[in-house]
């Protein structure tokens, strides 16, 4: 069940990325996004196919994410972190060398 939902979640994610990238930006730059002439607050600012598709895919993405989170908690058994599975190797220590200079020092 979880694996099927993960595959569906991946497909919805890729479709959502594709639909967002295909859309035409409604504003020329980031700074002009709040201007009145952008058409967001006008009667002609109706949703087109891409914005409806984006909204639907975003909703499906949200519900799939929540469903996978709930299923991962109730999947049964205690889950370990990936970090817990890593075997810790002891650090290699070099034998200490006495602090005798290799070159004779004048006194």
Reduced 3-state DSSP string for the chain: CHHHHHHHHHHHHHHHHHHHHHCCCCCCCHHHCCCHHHCCCCCCCCCCHHHHHHHHHHHHHHHHHHHHHHHHHCCCCCCCCCHHHCCCCCCCCCCCCCCCCCCCCCC
Q: The domain containing residue 2 runs over which residues?
A: 1-23+49-69
Q: How many folded domains does the chain comprise?
A: 1
| Residue 35 domain flag | no
| Residue 32 domain flag | no
Lowest mean pLDDT of 14-18, 30-34, 50-54, 98-102, name the range: 30-34
Kindly state the tokens that stand for 100. 């005798």
| Residue 103 domain flag | no
**pLDDT for the residue 60:** 96
**pLDDT for the residue 87:** 72
| Residue 92 domain flag | no
| Residue 16 domain flag | yes
**pLDDT for the residue 56:** 95
Write the pLDDT tens digit of every residue in 49-90: 888 899 999 999 999 999 998 888 775 556 566 676 677 777
| Residue 10 domain flag | yes
The chain-wide mean pLDDT, for the chain, equals 75
**pLDDT for the residue 76:** 59
């Amino acid at each position: 069940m979880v694996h099927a939902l993960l595959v569906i979640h991946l497909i919805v994610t890729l479709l959502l990325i594709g639909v967002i990238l295909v859309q035409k930006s409604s504003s020329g730059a980031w700074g002009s996004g709040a201007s009145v002439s952008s058409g967001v607050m006008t009667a002609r600012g109706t949703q087109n196919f891409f914005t409806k598709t984006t909204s639907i895919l975003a909703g499906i993405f949200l519900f799939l994410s929540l469903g996978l989170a709930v299923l991962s908690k109730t999947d049964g058994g205690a889950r370990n972190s990936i970090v817990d599975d890593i075997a810790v190797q002891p650090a290699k220590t070099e034998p200490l060398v006495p602090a005798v200079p290799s070159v004779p020092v004048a006194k």
